[in-house]
């Protein structure tokens, strides 16, 4: 959009409103809770990229702690059909639904969140695991590839967060939104070149900060998790043997992370135990970022 520079002096800039620490803005202190209820998960969640290994791990952890409704949102949820069926069998009291959605398409995302609110009753928790990675030399990487990574990892996360926040505000009950960033948002990876991925994950950290400030007055907490190298299928294969060795050698633990090692922070951020955690990034990497 082209704007006449002379018109800039008469423009109106929106102002942010913060919470006031009262129940009216859903920012009052978290009520005291016993050990069992402190980490209890209530309400319903949407997990993007929920058919992947880390997404399924999060789904399982939330269900184990009492989640009543779950939408697994993925480009291809059928790849985890067996695992999702197992979740339904293991947690018969929970309503578990799926949706095949491209998170860069705001119309499709909005429809999915409307379905989640209608079918489950509300949208109270969002975890954004959906993302893509591409390792490419910055000198030869096509700009289109750079744009695609940012479109999925950063813009797609915003589209989903906005859709979730609209439902949370309408419900008047607050909620929890968590982006899945990466240690790639904190330092340059070695030895693989992946500038687009690193930039996309760094963007999530500032987006998390901005939304934590803007949406706190609605009782919405916005945080992020930055996993290190996790031992999933995405990091397997003969072509990665030397990379895996380097990643392990440069970590104080001397190994990659196991998917279940993210479960604790997932439950923390979605439960009353995380009631005053807002705008935070929790690194789960065995200490890899200390080097």
Residue 95 is among the residues annotated as catalytic for this protein: no
| Farthest-apart Cα atoms in the chain, separation | 64
Which residues in 29-50 are b (16+ Cβ under 10 Å) and which e? Answer: eeeeeeeeeebbbebbbbbbbb
Q: Which two tokens stand for residue 65?
A: 């702690």
Query: Residues, the chain, total?
Result: 291
Q: How far apart are CA 105 and CA 150, in angstroms?
A: 14
In whole angstroms, what is the distance from residue 6 CA to residue 177 CA? 40
Tokens, residue 140 = 């030869």
Selecting among 182, 184, 200, 224, the annotated active-site residue is 182
Catalytic choice (68, 197, 200, 218): 197
Q: Active site residue: 68, 176, 184, 201, which one?
A: 201
Is 182 marked active-site?
yes
**What are the backbone dihedrals phi and psi of residue 219, each rounded to the nearest 5 degrees, phi first?**
75, 20
Q: Is 166 among the catalytic positions?
A: no
Judged on CB neighbours under 10 Å (0-12, 13-18, 19+), 260 is exposed
Residues designated as active site:
182, 197, 201
């Amino acid at each position: 959009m082209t704007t006449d520079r002379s018109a800039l002096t008469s423009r109106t800039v929106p102002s942010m409103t913060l919470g006031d620490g009262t129940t009216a803005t859903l920012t009052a202190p978290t009520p005291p809770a016993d050990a069992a209820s402190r980490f209890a998960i209530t309400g319903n969640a949407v997990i993007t990229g929920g058919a992947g290994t880390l997404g399924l791990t999060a789904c399982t952890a939330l269900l184990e702690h009492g989640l009543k409704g779950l939408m697994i949102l993925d480009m291809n949820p059928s790849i985890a059909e067996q695992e999702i069926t197992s979740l339904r069998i293991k947690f018969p009291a929970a309503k578990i639904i799926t949706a095949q959605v491209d998170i860069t398409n705001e119309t499709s995302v909005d429809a999915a969140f409307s379905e989640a609110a209608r079918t489950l009753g509300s949208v109270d928790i969002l975890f954004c695991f959906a993302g893509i990675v591409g390792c490419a030399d910055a000198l030869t990487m096509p700009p289109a590839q750079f744009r695609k990574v940012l479109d999925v990892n950063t813009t797609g996360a915003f589209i989903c967060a906005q859709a979730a926040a609209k439902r949370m505000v309408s419900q008047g009950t607050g909620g929890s939104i968590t982006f899945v960033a990466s240690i790639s948002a904190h330092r340059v990876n070695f030895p693989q070149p992946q500038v687009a991925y690193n930039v996309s994950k760094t963007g999530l950290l500032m987006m998390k900060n901005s939304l934590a400030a803007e949406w706190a007055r609605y009782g919405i907490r916005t945080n992020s998790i930055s996993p290190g190298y996790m031992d999933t299928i995405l990091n397997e294969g003969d072509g990665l043997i030397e990379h895996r060795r380097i990643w392990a050698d440069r970590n104080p633990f001397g190994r990659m992370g196991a998917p279940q090692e993210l479960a604790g922070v997932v439950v923390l951020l979605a439960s009353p135990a995380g009631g005053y955690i807002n705008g935070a990034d929790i690194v789960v990497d065995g200490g890899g970022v200390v080097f």
